[in-house]
Structure 1
Amino acid sequence: MSAAALSPTAEYLALVRRRRVYGGLLLVLFIVLMASGWRTADARNAGGFLDGIAHILDFPIEILSEAARDWRNLPGYLRQYLPSLIETLNIAAVSTLLGGLIAAVLAVLSARALAPLPWLVVPIRRGMDVMRAMPEIVIALVLIFLLGGGPVPAMIAITLHTAGALGKLFSEVAENADLKPVEGLASVGAGWLARIWFAVAPQVAPNWSSYALLRFEINIRASAILGFVGAGGIGYDLRTTLQWGQGRYDQVVAIFALLFLTIVLVDHLSDRARARLVQGGHAA
């Protein structure tokens, strides 16, 4: 067999060896970075991670044991914290609705095939990147400093993040829409808004609604977390009961139970709704 016939095989084997070398170097670098990061984190951790890992279950066991001892109080606490849960759900619902409406506008303005002003596409996309990159808790902390505590800072923070996240998803769906109905309406003199409303909206509505429902689930968790920084809702009550410590742990369990049951219920209902919207059938 000639050398020319062997050269492709030799090149392939050389490429495989180079990839193995690069892969080995990356693996070694990853291990070194993980080890150094672990040592740094353990050195800065109060008491050391390895010393404390044996007690990692002490606090949950203490909470559950107190709740088991005072289990008769749980139904009353569930009723007591139900209004706070409703406030959390309201924050998530309003934020999802406002963020979804803003995202829909941004999506059609940033979709290259649909944008009425092409020069706006890039600035709008970069603006959505900024909104999506900023964590809700950072925005909420700034707004709490400016506006004070309460549900309004949480709602604004979640709305901005939702607009950025859904705007990206909505724009991708809009760009994949069939343009033939748009061209048909344009041929009979329909304006840009009419083309979007009658040709694009019916195509993207199922996927947009599915993404909005999924985002609503995420926003429930986000609004509960923001309560820890003073943004209202059931998260604020959870932080308060944890700060009181022993004697209030049955209330902590009641709040966790409310959150867990609510998230499970919303997940189940939204799964069924998304299946109907996207597939047109019933969820399994």
Structure 2
Amino acid sequence: MTSPDLLRAELLTMRKRRQLYSMATLAVFAAIMIAGYGQANSMNSGGFLSGLSKFFDYPGEIVVEAWEAGPAFFGLMWQFLPALIETLNIAAVATILGGLFGMIFAFLGAGNLSIWPPLVPVARRVMDVMRAFPELIIALFLIFVLGTSPVPAMIAVAFHTTGALGKQFSEVNENIDLKAVEGLQACGATWFQRMKFAVLPQVLPNYLSYFMMRFEINVRASAILGFVGAGGIGSELRRTIGWGQGAGDETAALFLLLVLSIFLIDQASSWMRQRITQAEKV
């Protein structure tokens, strides 16, 4: 056999050996998962397969009770509207504060915008720390310090939002076309003028998209924080779900309010982004 044939045969042998090792690893992993599932299932009070058949029992009860409520169901939605507004207020204030501070960190953490280089990794690590702590953990700590109110929830969500939006905004900044920035710099424009007239027009549509998406996330986060005493629609959900049977119509009304609010936020985001992009083309 010639040298190329020997090399080809050796490559085929190595490929077969690698496939064999991969299949063996997969088989061992599957065996561990099956054994672990069996052990965990034997330790439960019930069983996974027996419980799977009852998976839709509680959601079914919610739908049935909401249907049986009839026209009074819409009265329940009106009754819980103030709680939804409180949740939306928490999410809105937290998103605005997080967006503003996130923009500051985004410009400080973007390496292509002529920021002082030693400051870039510091800003990025600070944003990493902000994203590392879940809103629930921060809210629990703040509730212990400040008491049960919407304020701890707002601060917790804003803290996490700053790190999340700061990272997303900084990545948008790093993907811009620098020709406009370089042109203004050649004309003697200051750093703030370059950011205002060359960077912001490019990044604003993506900023708005990320901002509104984060607003959606923060509405859900604020609702979850209501379970730990932060107020809003989450507190009502904790009460209705805790009551179990008999409060399904109220639970359905709360869920429907949340879904409608997310739908309206998404539609508003699409409308505003379209207006911005059309204004830039004019």
Matched, 1:76 2:100: no
Deviations 1:2-49 (A, max 9, x none): 421213422431342243134213422432343244245434544333
Matched, 1:268 2:232: no
> CA RMSD, aligned part only?
2.4
Matched, 1:120 2:119: yes
| Residue identity matched to 1:127 | V
The 1-side partners of 2:277 and 2:52 are apart by 45
Q: CA deviation at 1:108?
A: 0.9
SS of match in other structure, 1:173: helix
| Residue identity matched to 1:268 | Q
The 1-side partners of 2:186 and 2:279 are apart by 31
Matched, 1:185 2:184: yes
Q: What runs of 5+ residues in structure 1 fail to find an aligned partner?
A: none
Aligned to 1:236: 235
Aligned to 1:131: 130
Q: 1:192 to 1:26 in 2, by over 3 A?
A: farther
Matches within 5 A, 1:79-228: 79-228=78-227
Q: CA deviation at 1:115?
A: 4.6
Runs of 4+ in 1 over 6 A off after TM superposition: none
TM-score (norm 2): 0.88
Deviations 1:28-86 (A, max 9, x none): 24323432442454345443333322322222222222222222321221111001111
The 1-side partners of 2:271 and 2:34 are apart by 45
Matched, 1:65 2:68: no
The 2-side partners of 1:120 and 1:169 are apart by 18
Once the two structures are overlaid, the 10-residue window that deviates more, 161-170 or 11-20, is 11-20
The 1-side partners of 2:279 and 2:26 are apart by 46
Q: 1:104 to 1:128 in 2, by over 3 A?
A: same
The 2-side partners of 1:103 and 1:80 are apart by 36
SS of match in other structure, 1:56: coil
| Residue identity matched to 1:199 | A
The 1-side partners of 2:103 and 2:38 are apart by 46
The 1-side partners of 2:219 and 2:17 are apart by 48
Q: CA deviation at 1:171?
A: 1.0
